[in-house]
Amino acid sequence: MHFFRLLNNEKDFVFNTEEPNKIILQYFGVEKAITKSQLVEKFANKVWGDNDDDAVKFAILFYIHSFILSEEPTTTVIDRKDFDLVELGKYIDYPWSKNAFDLLILHLHTKIKHDGKYLITSLGYLTGRQKKISLV
């Protein structure tokens, strides 16, 4: 599987949120904010039972949010779009690498202390005179 697609645009993936998502309704109860920790708990408890198709969908969601995006487990809310991508089988064409890169840059912005002489551009490069960068 190729999770890192570069040719597709995130904006090409629009779903009808008026329709309920089967995975969310069946395994999480209602359409609400679902955290990564809730996904991990459902995955660990194998809530899908004998449903192999749903087991694969949970494995894909778990992989995306644990390894590709590698987010903080308790406060990270998983987008409804991610459930729709997996439910409809369109996750394979989604540009996950762009999301992962954007999260990395956001994380770096919060962790790097600087004295105003450094700038991380949207491409992730340091500019300016590079004296000292300390990570928290």
**pLDDT surpassing 50 at residue 136:** no
pLDDT of residue 10: 65
Kindly tell me the sign of the dihedral angle through the C-alpha atoms of 21, 25, 30, 33.
negative
pLDDT of residue 38: 92
Nearest Cα neighbor of 15 from 72, 95, 99, 81 is 81
pLDDT digits (tens, 9 = 90+) for 18-72: 888 899 999 998 767 899 999 999 999 999 999 999 999 999 999 999 888 876 7
pLDDT of residue 39: 94
pLDDT of residue 115: 45
Letter for the amino acid at 93? D
Number of Cα atoms under 13 Å in the Cβ half of residue 43:
17
* Cβ atoms of 114 and 123 closer than 8 Å: no
pLDDT of residue 9: 67
Query: 35-44 — which CB contacts under 8 Å span 24+ positions?
Result: 35/73, 35/74, 35/75, 35/76, 35/77, 35/78, 36/65, 36/66, 36/71, 36/72, 36/73, 36/74, 36/76, 36/77, 36/78, 37/73, 37/74, 39/65, 39/78, 40/66, 40/73
pLDDT of residue 126: 52
Q: How many Cβ atoms are within 10 Å of 95's Cβ, its own excluded?
A: 18
**pLDDT surpassing 50 at residue 1:** no
**pLDDT surpassing 60 at residue 127:** no
pLDDT digits (tens, 9 = 90+) for 72-116: 777 788 988 899 899 988 888 888 888 888 888 877 777 675 544
Nearest Cα neighbor of 98 from 3, 1, 27, 14 is 3
